Chain A
Amino acid sequence: MNETRKETPIFPQEAEVVIIGGGVVGSATAYFLAKENKNVVLLEKGYCAGEASGGNAAWVWSLTRKAGIDLQLAMHSISIHEKLQAELELDFEYRARGGLMIIDAENQVPFVKAHLDQRKKDGHPLEMIDANEVLEIEPMLNRDRILGGVWNPVDGTTNPILLVASLNRESEKLGVKIHHHTEVKGIDVSQGQVKSVTTDRGTIKTDCVVNAAGSWAGHIGKMVGITVPVSPFQMAMLVTEQVPRCLFHPIMGASYMVEEDTGKEGGLGSGLIASQQVSGNLLLGASWRDAGFDKRTIQEEIERIARVNIEAMPSLKDIRVIRSFANFFPHTPDDLPILGSVKGVEGFIMASGHNGHGVCLGPGSGKLVAELLCNGNTSVPMEKLKLERSALSVE
């Protein structure tokens, strides 16, 4: 007999808010709602932080966020990471030591400059630094290739699995009921209002559901008759053995600014992403491709990621890779998350589509959704994030 969850008799009958999805976004939403004394049930089809939240670069990163709402969300969320760091009991290894983007080809320069111009206009200026400064910050980088870089002091890394564990531990103390390995089967909507959520272990009466299902957000959307344009998009990375500290900051290659769209339409995209975890493992990336819900990594990805990293950091050549992993990120057509209420379905709240930035943006998104549900005044205006925005071209 295959593995199944044992039946337990206790299952909630009703809740003020049911959150679907126990990733960073869902767990943060639960936490902030619980702090406002809401009666919350969090449902997770697997185990919390088991999908994209549990396998990613673990960055809290705003350097490449575009001026406007994109950056606004990131900056807001970084402030929430800082607050959580101070108020949650369990350390989740959030370290804001600054992030670095490296320029290693002439064709990247105009893209980087344009980005910096936009940021300056937006009131969040970033400075270019020269090759020597880059090498002072990260001595492992290839001296022969570096043309310069961009430094952003507010960025850093975290441990998203611990972040979720830490949020959940606190939420449970505040009365949130978390049910793992519980799958949502349907959502009952009557006269345009959410009435209940049916799972594989019972029905919960509620008039509010938060769709924080990440790549599965479209699947949940269908249950209330709406189209949510979120699709899974695979990103793969390598993990090395634990080594003494040799990388000090999250490092991204500026090629990301040039070739943003490779990897779609059947191709394989790649770019430099490197950082070292508190444990000493190097997390090296990345490649991306459209692989549906397939989590396996392919040979080409593994070799490509290794090449990208060896070109940037040749002295890592003897460090051994112990595994690869891939996850799919909830991708939206305009790279922005879908947050907020949905026209025509009262009580159905979207909180998905973070495009590989769920770890960075998750705490902020959770806070915004909680604000929306509690008093309606959100710290960041959410108009541009709604499902009905034109960029998503949903009828």
Chain B
Amino acid sequence: MEKAELAIIGGGPGGISAAVAAAESGVNVTILDENARIGGQIFRQLEKGFTLTNPKAMGRDYQKGVDLFRQFKQVESRINYLNHATVWGIFDHHRIAYERNRKSKTIEYKNLLIASGAYDRPVPFPGWTLPGVLTAGGAQNLVKNQRILPGKKFLLAGTGPLQLVLAHQLIQAGADIAAILEVGDVKGSWLKLMQGMWGNWGYAGDGLQYLQTIRKAGVPIMRNHIIARANGNQNVEKAVIARVDKDWRVIHNTRKSLNVDTVCLGYGLVTSTELTRLAQCDHEYDNGLGGYVPVRSETMETTQKGIFAVGDGAGVAGSQVALAEGRIAGIAASQALGHAPGVGQKKTLAELQKKLTRHHRLRKVLDEISRPRPGLYELAEDETIICRCEDVTFKQIKTLIQKEGINAKDIKRTTRVGMGSCGGRMCGPILIELLRNLGSQISGQPEGLNVRPPVKPIPLGVLAGAENNE
């Protein structure tokens, strides 16, 4: 069995920044990354065969990524980077099981850091399962990394400044955008908000550039608007949009129809907590975020000793926070493992904490706009599919929710919601919000679904061929 002093799951900014900090202190690190190269979603490196002619066009995040990769290079000798590694289980006795090159392997860690990232918040409305409805993240991945424009006439619907980033990228790639819908009640200027999002005044230039692109293309940004329905036979043909009140509830007689073939949904991100849940860390519901996050100490340690969680997987706050948290956790883990702090690391810790505090203050402003309101989960109609894998409808769930004391796990067992291949990643967060909003017969915060390994689909033959733990 392989061994690692510090095992890191996830090769995005949080994971890499932790790896660099720990390696600098002399810790031997193993990174398990599902991707081909380090960088995660935000610092994703170009696919092979693409070359970069104008690095500036990639935005400020790309530059930050380049800095991180350089730091990584310097301590690479202490880092065992395993790409295409899919973690399928975290077990007692400090063990991680993962699949790589069609083999299941086990690694034993002393400390563990989980930087599993986040994914687009799923929001059910009539027509959301039609081809042509994409997540903002999915669309961004296609445009930015594959150089594919997934449609002709776009509608962007959601909340927060990330929509503007996507709009900028789509326009640059030649897309025609009918409108950008911001469901939140945005008062004041977008520019200020974008600065808040990055938490760094030095980024004003990027925000300005995005807004200019959108304005030049003549794309309207419609505040207090939501997509209520997508219509079409084989593919999206029309989107019904409407004005919303402060609870994001559709206001009567404000519906209108737009001819579009592609809808990008960007209602923020939800944390990937499968791994922290599997590791039995305690979680709490974050109202500002609208989802579960692992409970953590100041040094990013979870309620399980020696297990750290950083970045978007621990509380969606973007790459800058992920970098800072990763570094804090990397230093803390090194100390826990008995390594003397590296040069200047003590000072760094204090600075990083200060930086985080500043980020969180700015994040609050954004949360106030983008925190999911009840109306978001009232768009679904009886026949709207909630669980795509198992075809469970809104009506099936709505009926059950009225039953005495019924909780998410009961509903899962009874309807099969969350039993499909995605392991409840899509419908799980929806189910929690429905329990919160539909007058369920439970008090307090509804608990999430259970996670059982393998957390990602793994071929039976791979599990069968698992090496023996000699």
* Residues of A participating in the B interface, judged by any CB pair closer than 8 Å: 1-6, 8, 46-47, 49-50, 54, 161, 165, 179-182, 238-242, 279, 284, 296-300, 302-303, 306-307, 309-311, 314, 316-325
Contacts and interface: CB of A to CB of B under 8 A. Distances in A.
B457 interface: yes
Contacts of B390: 279
Contact of A238 (B423, B447, B460): B460
7 contacts: A1-B445, A5-B443, A6-B442, A180-B403, A297-B453, A321-B460, A322-B421
Given A297-B453, A298-B92, A319-B460, 13 more contacts: A2-B445, A4-B443, A47-B410, A50-B413, A299-B95, A302-B463, A306-B464, A306-B466, A317-B461, A322-B420, A323-B453, A323-B455, A324-B453
A290 B407 CA distance: 28
Nearest to A309: B460
Contacts of B445: 1-3
Interface string B444-470: 111100001111011111011110010
A47 B414 contact: yes
Contacts of A296: 452
A46 B446 CA distance: 15
Given A297-B453, A299-B106, A321-B460, A3 B444 contact: yes
Interface residues of B, number: 43
Given A179-B404, A298-B92, A306-B463, A320 B458 contact: yes
Which 10 residue pairs spanning A and B have beta carbons closest together?
Answer: A317-B461, A181-B405, A5-B405, A47-B410, A306-B463, A320-B457, A310-B464, A1-B444, A306-B464, A303-B466
B463 A303 contact: yes
Given A303-B104, A322-B454, A324-B452, A161 B461 contact: no
Contacts of B443: 1, 3-6
Contacts, number: 136
Contact of A4 (B410, B421, B442, B466): B442
A5 B414 contact: no
Max chain A C-beta neighbours (<10 A), residue from B106, B460, B463 = B460
Contacts of B201: none
Given A47-B413, A161-B413, A320 B447 contact: no
Interface in B64-98: 89, 91-92, 95, 97
B455 to A, nearest CB: 8
B416 interface: yes
A172 B443 CA distance: 25
Contacts of B405: 5-6, 47, 180-182
Contact of B452 (A2, A3, A279, A325): A325
Max chain B C-beta neighbours (<10 A), residue from A298, A299, A310 = A299
A314 B89 CA distance: 23
A54 B414 CA distance: 9
A382 B416 CA distance: 37
Nearest to A178: B404
Contact of B89 (A8, A240, A299, A307): A299
A49 B464 CA distance: 31
B441 interface: yes
Nearest to A55: B413
B464 A241 contact: no
Nearest to B420: A322
A310 B91 contact: no
B406 interface: yes
Given A2-B445, A297-B452, A322 B423 contact: yes
A49 B89 CA distance: 27
A306 B414 CA distance: 27
Contacts of A5: 404-405, 441-443
Given A1-B444, A6-B442, A318-B459, A161 B407 contact: no
Max chain B C-beta neighbours (<10 A), residue from A49, A165, A306, A319 = A306
Interface in B415-452: 416, 419-421, 423, 441-447, 452
B91 A3 contact: no
Contacts of A298: 91-92
B453 A316 contact: no
B460 A47 contact: no
A323 B423 contact: yes
Contact of A307 (B414, B458, B464): B464
A302 B453 CA distance: 8
B460 A284 contact: yes
Contacts of B463: 238, 302-303, 306, 321
B410 A299 contact: no
B444 A310 contact: no
Contacts of B92: 298
Contacts of B95: 299
A323 B416 contact: no
A311 B457 CA distance: 20
Max chain A C-beta neighbours (<10 A), residue from B91, B390, B469 = B91
B406 A180 contact: yes
A171 to B, nearest CB: 15
